[in-house]
Amino acid sequence: MGITYTDEVTSIGPGQLEGFFVGWPDHPDPDTHLDILRRSYAVWLALDGGRCVGFINALSDGVFYAYIPLLEVLPGYRGRGIGSELVRRMTETLGGMYAIDVVCDEDVAPFYTAKGFGRCVAMIKRNYGNQGAAKARQAEAGPRGKRGGNSGA
């Protein structure tokens, strides 16, 4: 049948999101993974039948700026162009934005350079204790007790 691509996450369930985040010491469980995808500004999924074998998501203000935090392809599906196709579809989806940023590890920088991304200096803060599902769910209300923000600041 081949790989199909969709930007719809409403028809997938956590059982279709097994096997991602290989090498992460602590990672989101499939339920949290699905929450991440559903709350993203934009998502593209690569499907092999009913199984999700790759995904990319973007966070955005919807006007000016977008950030791609996650791109994953299951190990058995790597090297087939799935990641490249997901990036192509996402950058097309975000094409009206001024900025589309990705922060990545050094070993995958050439992949993004080949897709038209340039190097820059980035600063990050990681709370590795929050990397797993339980901590992520506790943080879902946001910094002021409201999901998604600090309005009224």
Within a domain: residue 151? no
Give the separation between CA 28 and CA 135, rounded to whole angstroms. Answer: 9
Within a domain: residue 19? yes
Within a domain: residue 127? yes
Within a domain: residue 147? no
Q: What is the CATH number of the domain that holds 128?
A: 3.40.630.30
- The reported pLDDT for the residue numbered 140 is 57
The tens-digit pLDDT sequence of the chain (153 residues) is 699 999 999 989 999 999 999 988 889 999 999 999 999 999 999 999 989 999 999 999 999 999 999 999 999 999 999 999 999 999 999 999 999 999 999 999 999 999 999 999 988 888 888 877 555 555 554 544 444 443 343
**85 closest CA partner among 138, 145, 7:** 7
Domain extent at residue 13: 3-141
Q: Which helix (H) or strand (E) holds 73?
A: strand 65-73
- The reported pLDDT for the residue numbered 59 is 98
The three-class DSSP label of residue 29 is coil
Within a domain: residue 13? yes
Q: Which helix (H) or strand (E) holds 102?
A: strand 99-102
The domain tally of the chain equals 1
- The reported pLDDT for the residue numbered 122 is 86
- The reported pLDDT for the residue numbered 144 is 46
Give the separation between CA 116 and CA 113, rounded to whole angstroms. Answer: 5
